Chain A
């Protein structure tokens, strides 16, 4: 005891000599270099927003926010309103989700709970391949397969469901409903694969507890898995929504390209991205171009919002559940 006391008194207390905690110059330069590359995404995002806003200033100063509420699209007199396109985008995306959610969540439940693991991963892989198919190729299928099929089916829809205002009009083949169906094909894989991951992550003890209490398999799914995975599945739906809102090529090939708001799903419509794709290269007046870019800005804003909500919901399930942006 006294020896240590002598030791501590005799030798002055010095800080422990740790090998230099300061960053070395080489490391610091490397870090700055990498940071530079990382910052590009922030720069890109900001630049995008700024460019879109500046290029569309004419529209905002001329119409203000009423641009979003007006449904007049008259290039001859330079009067523009984005409402038909916002309507078309929202309704076609809503239709797509209406079709894709039951199919997607259903497939996810089947793959995660019923199928043996080997089959489950193979089929999940196949469904993910669906997401990889380029939009223009799906549009090609749309024009030559889906539209003629719809033209054959629509007369029946008109005859039997025509009492509803949603199924009136002519069997054009192209239109809002066709666009909704094609979009559902494209967003289905997102819902399926993210939901499957999420369902697989439900802790086993919870599931076994329910089964142990006498629940059937389906009841266990309904009472334990779905509530637990609720926010992840909702996140996948928002991710799918984000994709549907921005889809361009397949939609413009089957939606009918008519800037009108109609209650009937069989009528042709127009979406925000479709009108930009069709009319951008040839908008003759500055106001016309500005109006189209303003629509682009609206699209940009909506997709940012939806994606942010989607990732927020998926993050709530735990950071590992966030898929790579590649899906």
Chain B
């Protein structure tokens, strides 16, 4: 009986500990969200969202150019990254399931997924900023696109694979050419999953700062097109956070709130799309 009590105690103890770990993890999330929500909300205002930054040391001003800049840089990166990622993923799932080439592509995508984003920034700086002789939003977008492509690629592959093969075979059996089968039948069926991957990719690059530091550079005014430096939300947050000015700190909180709201909205939308698509997975 004593042995059993000891084992039962250990059982209860271990499960309490694991439950505690879970609690801590979730608590950290709520702490972060709550803190940002509290500090950020108090600094949000309409003028904050629509004005340009004020000169250094003066209070007031806003981050309008950072918001627009972020939208533009991410937009361009998405325009570059989505087609490459989606079509590459389609190749992997339709033609590359067992081939050596498919394996290489998959491996390189996984490798790229693990590379730190600052390395992408270095490459974009060397290949685009230096030859062009100026910092530009284009360079920043390229760096972000490189981050986005492998994510979208692997995600697309996974979801297109899930399309049941009998649908494909039925269409092929009816004489539909393979390219038509893919475009008109397979892709629409997998569309929800593909969109999920795109949303997740965009959410991820929305928060990236490091690759933009020496590519898009930052701009205290409205930008002058894709070939000029452009401001963006994460860059502004970083610059304001490490400054000594209280007013800039407040603005950093508000900007962080906006950024986190966008990123989390993207993630939650993406996951809810997938949940309905997949039904019960676990």
Contact = CB atoms under 8 A, between A and B. Distances in A.
Contacts of A104: 21, 25
Q: Which of A107, A143, A273 has the most CB of B within 10 A?
A: A107
Contacts, number: 288
B19 A34 contact: no
Contacts of A249: 209-210, 234, 238
Main secondary structure on A side of the interface with B: helix
B177 A138 contact: no
Interface in A28-46: 29-31, 33-35, 37-42, 44-45
Interface size class of A (residues with CB under 8 A): 35 or more
Contact of B253 (A42, A117, A140): A140
A27 interface: yes
A96 interface: no
Contact of B88 (A34, A128, A306, A311): A34
A277 B121 CA distance: 9
Given A217-B11, A280-B213, A299-B119, A253 B154 contact: no
Interface string A296-327: 10011001101110110000000000001110
Contacts of B234: 134, 136, 249
Interface residues of B, number: 98
A123 B30 CA distance: 12
Interface string B83-95: 1100111111011
A175 B95 CA distance: 50
A70 interface: no
A132 B112 contact: no
Given A120-B282, A307-B114, A42 B210 contact: no
B25 A27 contact: no
Contact of A308 (B25, B36, B111): B111
Interface of B: 7-8, 10-11, 14-15, 17-22, 24-26, 28-29, 32, 35-36, 83-84, 87-92, 94-96, 101-102, 104-105, 107-123, 125-127, 146, 149-151, 153-155, 158, 175, 177-179, 182, 197, 200-201, 203-204, 206-210, 213-214, 234, 237-238, 241-242, 249, 252-253, 256, 259-260, 263-264, 266-268, 271, 282
Given A133-B260, A136-B209, 10 more contacts: A19-B175, A38-B91, A41-B149, A110-B21, A114-B19, A280-B213, A304-B111, A307-B110, A325-B150, A326-B204
The 6 closest A-B pairs by CB, nearest first: A134-B207, A246-B116, A307-B114, A106-B21, A30-B179, A34-B91
18 contacts: A35-B101, A44-B149, A47-B123, A48-B112, A48-B123, A129-B264, A130-B32, A135-B208, A136-B256, A137-B32, A137-B36, A140-B256, A218-B11, A280-B121, A280-B213, A303-B114, A325-B113, A326-B201
Interface of A: 19, 24, 26-27, 29-31, 33-35, 37-42, 44-45, 47-48, 51-52, 55, 102-104, 106-107, 109-111, 114-115, 117, 120-121, 123, 125-130, 132-141, 143-145, 185, 188-189, 192, 197, 200, 216-219, 221, 239, 242-243, 245-249, 253, 273, 276-277, 280-281, 292-293, 296, 299-300, 303-304, 306-308, 310-311, 324-326
